[in-house]
C-alpha cells in the first residue's frame, strides 16, 4: 500500500481495536485506491478516507426478551449508520451468535461501495444481533424481533435508514419487525424495510435477487472469455437464501451444482443438487444439510477437508466471511477453476483473492457480485414509493440490467486504471469515487 494510505490505515486500526474483519475490509479497499489519489489529491486534502472509515452514527442497544420457558434473555443489538452521501442508510440485519461490532462495521463499510455500484440512491449501513435464531420457536423469534424493533424503530424511516435481511434474517423476521414498527409508529410506512412479504409491500424477485444477481455477474465474466454456465460443474457454498437461488439460476442456465453446504458440513451430489428438495429442507423445515442427504439417493456428506476440494469450473462462496482461504484457493486452481464470484460478503481471505488473481482466474468481489440483493431492495423501495408492484419478468429484467451495468463499470474502470480484468480494483474505485464526490459536494459533513 502507498505510504499515505498505510498511515491512514494504521490510524483506522488504532482507533478500532479488535475489529479484525473491519480492518480487513478497509485494507482491501485502500489497496485499490493509490491510482485514484494520484489523479485527485483533493480526496487526501479533504480527509475523505478518514471520514469514510468513521461511521456517521453507531447504535448499540440492549435487547431483552423471554424464551418459551419464561426465562429472561439478553442480547445485544447493533445498527451502524455508516454513510448517507448517496441516500438513506441501506443494508441488512444479521442475526448470528458471531455478531459483534467488528462484523457489523465490516459489512456496513462494504455496503457503502456496493450500494454506490448499484447506481441506486442508497447510502450504506448494517445492523444485527448476536441472537441465534437456530433452534428457537416462532414465538421466541417473534418476541426477540419485537424487542429489537422497540429500540431500533426510532432510528429508522424510509428517508433515514432502511434495513433488510442478511444471515439469519428472512421473510419471517422482516414480518415481525415490520409489524412492530407499524404498531409503534401508527404508520404504514412500506419503504422502511425491504424483503417484505408479497402481500404487504414486498417485491417479486427480492428473494431470488442476490443469488440470481451473482450468477448474472459470473455469466458476464465468463462471457469475456467466450464461455457460459452451460455444461459447467459448479460448487456453491452455503444453503441459505443466496446459495439456493444461485443454484436455481445455474441450473436454468445449463450448469450443474455438484456441492453445497451449511455450518454442519457439505454435501456432494454429482447428479446436481435437487433445489426443490433443498428448499423444502432449508426454507420450509429449517433442517440441516444431513436431512437433504438422507432423502436424496446418490448424495453423500463430504468426507475430505472442505467443499473447495471438489474439482469444479466455477466456485461461488455464498455462506459467510473468510470461508475460502489461500490453501483452498490453491486447491481450486490446481483442479482447474475458471471463475469465482462472491455471493457472500468477503468470503475469500486476502491470500485467497491474491491466489486467484495471480493464477488468472476470473474473480468477482462480493461488493460487485452480490449487489443484486440490495439493488432489488432499492427497486422494492421504488415500487413502495409509487404504490406500485411490478411483474416478475420486468423486475428480473431490471436486476439483470443492473448487474450487467456493474460488470461493465468495474471492467472499464479496471482498464482505465491500467489493471484490465481486475474486478476488485474496478469495483473499489468505481464505488469509492461516486461517494467521495458526493461527500465533497456537501462540504465538511
Ligand atoms: P442465510 O442465513 O439464509 O444462509 C447462510 C448460510 O451460510 C447457511 O447455510 C449457514 O449455515 C451458512 N453459514 C452462516 N454462517 C456460517 C458460519 N459461520 N460457518 C459456516 N456456515 C455458515 O443467509 P444469506 O444466504 O442471506 O447470506 C449468506 C451470505 O450472503 C452472507 O455473507 C450475507 O452477508 C451475504 N449477502 C446476503 C444478501 C441477501 O440479500 N440475503 C445480499 C448480499 C450478500 P447454517 O444454517 O448451518 O448456519
Ligand atoms: O449484504 C447485503 O447487501 C444484504 N444483506 C442486502 C441488503 C439490503 O438492504 O437488501
Whether residues 133 and 238 fall in one domain: no
173 found inside a domain: yes
Distance 303 CA to ligand 2 centre (A): 33
Task: Report the C-alpha gap between 100 and 231 in whole angstroms.
Answer: 41
User: 373 C-alpha to center of ligand 2: Å?
Assistant: 6
**Residues 162 and 27 placed together within one structural domain of the fold:** yes
409 in a structural domain: no
Q: Are residues 44 and 114 in the same domain?
A: yes
Q: Looking at the domain assignment, is residue 32 inside a domain?
A: yes
CA–centroid distance, 321 to ligand 2, in Å, is 14
Strand partners, 367: none
Distance CA 14, CA 353 (A): 25
Pair 146, 48 in one domain: yes
* In-domain check, residue 435: no
Catalytic residues: 126
Q: What is the pTM of this model?
A: 0.98
Q: Domain with 15 in it: what CATH number?
A: 3.40.50.10860
Give the mutation target among 242, 291, 367 for probing the ligand 1 site: most ligand atoms within 8 A of CB.
Answer: 242
Question: CA 273 to CA 276: how far, in whole Å?
Answer: 9
HSE-CB for 428 with a 13 A CA cutoff: 22
Locate all alpha helices (DSSP H) within 339-443, ordered by sequence: 350-358, 366-369, 371-385, 392-416, 423-441
Instruction: Dump pLDDT digits (tens) for 87-113.
Output: 999 999 999 999 999 999 999 999 999
- The total of other beta-carbon atoms located within 10 Å of residue 330's CB is 16
Domain boundary among 154, 187, 220: 187
What is the distance in A from the centroid of ligand 2 to the CA of 167? 10
Q: Which domain holds residue 26?
A: 3-187
Going by CA atoms, what residue is nearest to atom 32 of ligand 1? 344
Ligand 1 atom at minimal distance to the Cα of residue 242: 25
Same domain, 169 and 44: yes
* Cell numbers that stand for 422 in this block: 481486475
Whether residue 405 lies inside any domain: the answer is no
pLDDT at 331: 98
**351: in domain:** yes
- In this structure, what C-alpha cell is assigned to residue 344? 457472500
Q: Which of 312, 330, 360 is the last residue of a domain?
A: 360
Last residue of a domain, one of 155, 187, 219: 187
Nearest-CA residue for atom 46 of ligand 1: 262
What's the 92 CA to ligand 1 centre distance in angstroms? 12
Whether 143 and 270 share a structural domain: no
Q: Quick one: pLDDT at residue 285? A: 97
- Ligand 2, atom nearest to 377 Cα: 10
Q: Are residues 232 and 131 in the same domain?
A: no
* Predicted local confidence at residue 171, as pLDDT: 98
* Confidence (pLDDT) at 256: 98
Does residue 131 lie in a domain region?
A: yes
Question: Partners of 186 in the beta sheet?
Answer: none
Q: What number does the ligand 1 atom closest to the CA of 370 have? A: 43
Check residue 445 and give its pLDDT: 84
Dist. CA 216–CA 339, nearest whole Å: 13
Same domain, 225 and 352: yes
pLDDT value at residue 95: 98
Mutational pocket test of ligand 2: of 370, 372, 395, 427, the residue with most ligand atoms within 8 Å of the beta carbon:
370
Q: Say whether both 226 and 356 belong to one domain.
A: yes
**Do 191 and 113 contact (CB within 8 A), yes or no?**
no
**Which residue carries 455478531 as its cell?**
99
Contact in structure between 174 and 195 (CB atoms under 8 Å): yes
- Which CATH number covers residue 215? 3.40.50.720
- Which pLDDT score is estimated for 304? 82
* Distance between first and last Cα of the chain: 27
Task: Return the pLDDT at 1.
Answer: 84
Nearest listed ligand to the Cα of residue 240: 1
Residues 157 and 305 in one domain: no
> What's the structural domain count of the chain?
2
Atom of ligand 1 nearest to the CA of 195: 40
Residues (pLDDT < 70) of the chain are none
For the CA of 162, the closest atom of ligand 2 is: 9
Q: Which residues line ligand 2 (CB under 6 A)?
A: 90-92, 111, 114, 164, 166, 194, 345, 373-374, 377
* Helix ranges, 186-302 (H): 206-223, 241-252, 275-279, 289-295
- Of 113, 320, 367, best ligand 1 pocket probe by most atoms within 8 Å of the beta carbon: 320
Distance CA 106, CA 22 (A): 4
Q: How many other CB atoms are there within 10 angstroms of residue 88's CB atom?
A: 20
**What residue ranges line ligand 1, CB within 6 angstroms?**
96, 98, 165-168, 210, 238-243, 262-264, 318-320, 343-345, 370, 373
Q: What is the pLDDT of residue 2?
A: 86
- 112 in a structural domain: yes
- Report which bound ligand comes closest to the CA of 262: 1
Residues 251 and 341 in one domain: yes
- Residues 142 and 284 reside in one and the same domain: no
Amino acid at each position: 500500500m502507498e505510504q499515505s494510505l498505510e498511515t491512514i490505515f494504521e490510524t483506522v486500526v488504532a482507533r478500532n481495536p479488535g475489529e479484525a474483519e473491519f480492518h480487513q475490509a478497509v485494507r482491501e479497499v485502500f489497496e485499490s485506491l493509490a491510482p485514484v489519489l494520484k489523479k485527485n489529491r483533493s480526496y487526501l486534502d479533504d480527509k475523505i478516507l478518514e471520514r469514510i472509515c468513521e461511521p456517521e452514527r453507531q447504535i448499540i442497544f440492549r435487547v431483552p426478551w423471554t424464551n418459551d420457558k419464561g426465562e429472561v434473555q439478553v442480547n445485544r443489538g447493533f445498527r451502524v449508520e455508516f454513510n448517507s452521501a448517496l441516500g438513506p442508510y441501506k443494508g441488512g440485519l444479521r442475526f448470528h451468535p458471531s455478531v459483534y461490532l467488528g462484523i457489523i462495521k465490516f459489512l456496513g463499510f462494504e455496503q457503502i461501495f456496493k450500494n454506490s455500484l448499484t447506481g441506486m440512491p442508497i447510502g450504506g449501513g448494517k445492523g444485527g444481533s448476536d441472537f441465534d435464531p437456530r433452534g428457537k420457536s416462532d414465538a421466541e423469534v417473534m418476541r426477540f424481533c419485537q424487542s429489537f424493533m422497540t429500540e431500533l424503530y426510532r432510528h429508522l424511516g424510509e428517508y433515514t435508514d432502511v434495513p433488510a435481511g442478511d444471515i439469519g434474517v428472512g421473510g419471517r423476521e422482516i414480518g415481525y419487525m415490520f409489524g412492530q414498527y407499524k404498531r409503534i409508529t401508527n404508520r404504514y410506512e412500506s419503504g422502511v424495510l425491504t424483503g417484505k412479504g408479497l402481500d404487504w409491500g414486498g417485491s417479486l424477485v427480492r428473494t431470488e435477487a442476490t443469488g440470481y444477481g451473482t450468477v448474472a455477474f459470473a455469466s458476464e465474466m465468463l462471457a469475456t472469455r467466450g464461455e457460459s454456465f452451460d455444461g459447467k460443474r459448479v460448487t456453491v457454498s452455503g444453503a441459505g437464501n443466496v446459495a439456493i437461488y444461485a443454484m436455481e439460476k445455474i441450473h436454468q442456465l445449463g450448469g450443474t451444482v455438484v456441492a453445497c453446504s451449511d455450518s454442519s458440513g457439505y454435501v456432494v451430489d454429482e447428479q446436481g443438487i435437487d433445489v426443490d428438495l433443498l428448499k423444502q429442507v432449508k426454507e420450509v423445515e429449517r433442517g440441516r444439510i444431513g436431512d437433504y442427504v438422507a432423502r436424496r439417493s446418490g448424495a453423500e456428506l463430504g468426507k475430505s477437508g472442505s467443499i473447495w476440494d471438489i474439482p469444479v469450473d466455477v466456485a461461488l462462496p455464498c455462506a459467510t466471511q473468510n470461508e475460502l482461504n489461500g490453501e483452498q484457493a490453491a486447491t481450486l486452481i490446481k483442479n482447474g477453476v475458471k471463475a469465482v464470484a462472491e455471493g457472500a460478503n468477503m468470503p475469500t481471505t486476502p491470500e485467497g483473492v491474491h491466489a486467484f488473481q495471480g493464477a488468472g482466474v476470473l474473480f468477482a468481489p462480493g461488493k460487485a457480485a452480490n449487489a443484486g440483493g440490495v439493488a432489488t431492495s432499492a427497486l422494492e423501495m421504488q415500487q413502495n414509493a409509487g404504490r406500485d408492484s411490478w411483474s416478475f419478468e420486468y423486475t428480473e429484467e431490471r436486476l439483470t440490467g443492473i448487474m450487467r451495468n456493474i460488470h461493465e463499470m468495474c471492467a472499464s474502470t479496471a482498464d482505465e486504471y491500467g489493471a484490465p480484468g481486475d474486478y476488485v480494483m474496478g469495483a473499489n474505485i468505481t464505488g469509492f469515487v461516486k461517494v467521495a464526490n458526493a461527500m465533497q459536494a456537501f462540504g465538511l459533513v
